[in-house]
Every structure is written in structure tokens, then in C-alpha cells.
Structure 1
Amino acid sequence: MKITANEIRVGMLLEYKNDLWEVLKTQHVKPGKGGAFAQVEMKSINKNTKLNERFRSSETIEKASVEENKFNYSYDDERNYYFINTKSFEQVEIRKNIVGEKGSMLKENLEVTISFHNDDPIMVQLPNQVSCKIQMTDAALKGQTVSSSYKPATLDNGVKIQVPPFIEIGDEVLIDTRTFEYVKKI
């Protein structure tokens, strides 16, 4: 489906220069002289490279047709993650390099959204927040100001984050899967 440069949004998938690109940033620029354009930063889904492009406002770009389905995480091995469709019980395996660092947040039966392009899985989207247990953290020091003092902590999945001083070992916390940051204590 063709769209104009003004319709490009963050998170969209575009077919451009014989590759599939995810839009990371977009900015509409209207200079004092000349025509308006969209400055777009994109990341290649297949090659994992970045590209900055300028598209004139009147230019059209091909938006990739993507099918999204809900799956539950099942297990992983050395190279792949395995997911099961809860309706059809079909199993899908996805290479670990496609999932990337988000794979450390996967827990058994976690519901994720998998995007398919031409029947190939291209992206796994986790829920925005996942609950994790604090496995290790330092003791809070008395007298520290609460506003800006965070301390390091290790989650039960091995991910290291910063948490407020009142968080202790064994506490259950919500983590933002997009930024790997502490959200709140449960």
C-alpha cells in the first residue's frame, strides 16, 4: 500500500530499496526556502543497519503489509525461541537475533504479538510491562535523597536495572520491556 511521506509514523514497516525497514524516528521539516520534507531514521529488519532518508512531502513510499498474530512463549534452545498459537496450536520458531535483547524478558506462557511479512516472522512485540523478581540488590544507605538516588539490581532473568532504594531482594517489580526500566513495585 502506497502512503505519502507525511503519513510515515514511528513503528511503521516500509518496503524501500529492496529491503524491509522499521521507522525509528520521523520529523516533518518545512524550511524557509524550498519544499517541505520528512526526515526519517529507519532500521533494516534483515541486515540490522540504520538509514537516514529525506522524503519530499509529495513522494510516495510502499508500506509493508504485515500480519500480526498472538502467540504464547514456550521455550528456547541455543539458536531459537519457540512460540505456540493459542487458537490453532501451531508452533513457530524464531531466531534469537530477530528477538534481540527483549528475549531475556520472555517467561513461559507470556503472550506476545508476532508480525509476519510474506509468512516469515520478522518481529516479536512483548507486552509493555512484565513482572520480575529482584534476585540481588544493594542495601539502601540512610540519608540518601529519595528523588535522584537509584541503586543497581539484578532481576531473576539476569537483566541489570536501576531501582529505588526501598526495593529489596525478593520484591516483585514491573519492568518496561521497551526501555528495560523500573516502573513500580507490585
Structure 2
Amino acid sequence: MTVVEADSVSPKNDHSNTISEIKKFQVDLNEEYLNAEETPLRGDNFRKFKGHPFFPIDLKYRVTAKFEKNKNPVPFELPTSSGKSKSYQEYGKATFLLGGKPLTVNIYQSLDLMKTEEYRDHLFLPFRDLTNGKETYGGGKYLDLKIPEGDMIVLDFNLSYQPYCAYNAYDYNCPIVPAENKMDAEIRAGVMYDDVYHH
């Protein structure tokens, strides 16, 4: 299978739009966590929260991947942090190069969300990488995607975030990253993590 290096083929004038999108993601995420009605934070963690730490925006971590759709997806139960499970199907695989290293991840679709108008084109990429437990949450990170129109898909890890369980292990059950999505690479992009929430 042909793999594609980082998204260096995009016109330079597209980069400003991409960076604006990433900055908006950061602002929106902070606003969500600062909103008492939306935040997963509780008690002192909420009162002390000023904003997320983020890796510097780096378009090296925005990659155009070769996408192979699963022609016959089989529903399965994805374990969560609470011991329960959530229903997904493996929608396809994305293969790309990062720093010259070929990587492949599975991309999933929620069987519940696909029934809704708002999220029926929503895809889910849970992943782990070599920053976990150091600069990012030990349980990995998530990336939200849309169903691609063709056989390519953009994975912008600058938009990756920690699950709610990283900040509140009591009120949420978060999908556990499957073993096949553990990447032998450092993804130094998106939200960083300061583990002050589990002490």
C-alpha cells in the first residue's frame, strides 16, 4: 500500500486556515472546560483550571493518510474505563508516514452516533503513542474525524485531546484505546497533560 508523508503538498496559503482552525479548537476546548455546565472537572480541579497546556502547533503532525474502507465492518464491543463497553464498528484503516516511519491506525464508527443526524458522518480515532504517561495522558488520546469522500483522509493530531476520564475518572466511562492503535512514535501535538487530577 502506498503511504503518504506529511501534508506538505498543500498550498502555503492553506496553512493559515489550518492554523486558525487549530487555534479555534484550543479556544473552544478551554471554553468547554471553563463552562460549569459542560466541564468534566469537579471541585477544586474546576476552580483552579485556567486552561489546557498545548504542544506548539506543528503541521508535521497534520498528515494526509491513505484510507482503506472496511467493506464488511463487523460490530464489536469496545471496552471502557468503567468496565462497561460501547458498540463500534471498524470503519477503515489509515496508513501514513511520520518522520519517515510507516504507521497504520484503525478508525472506528460508533453504532449509536451513526443513527443520529448530527453525528452520522462522525468517525473516531483513539490512539496511544510514546508521549503517553509523560507529556500526555497515560491512557492515550482521541481524534474526531469525518467520513472521507475518497481514499485519502487528513489526520491532524494538533486537534487531538484527552478523554474526560483523564480529568474525572468517577463520572465517565471512556473507550480504552485498542492495542492495534498504539503507535511507535511520539505524537507531540494537541493537548498536553499535567496529571494533577488523580491525587
State whether TM-score is above 0.5.
no
Higher percent of residues as strand: 1
Higher percent of residues as helix: 2
Higher Rg: 1
Please give the TM-score of this superposition, normalised by the length of structure 2. 0.28
Higher relative contact order (CA 8 A, sep 6+): 2
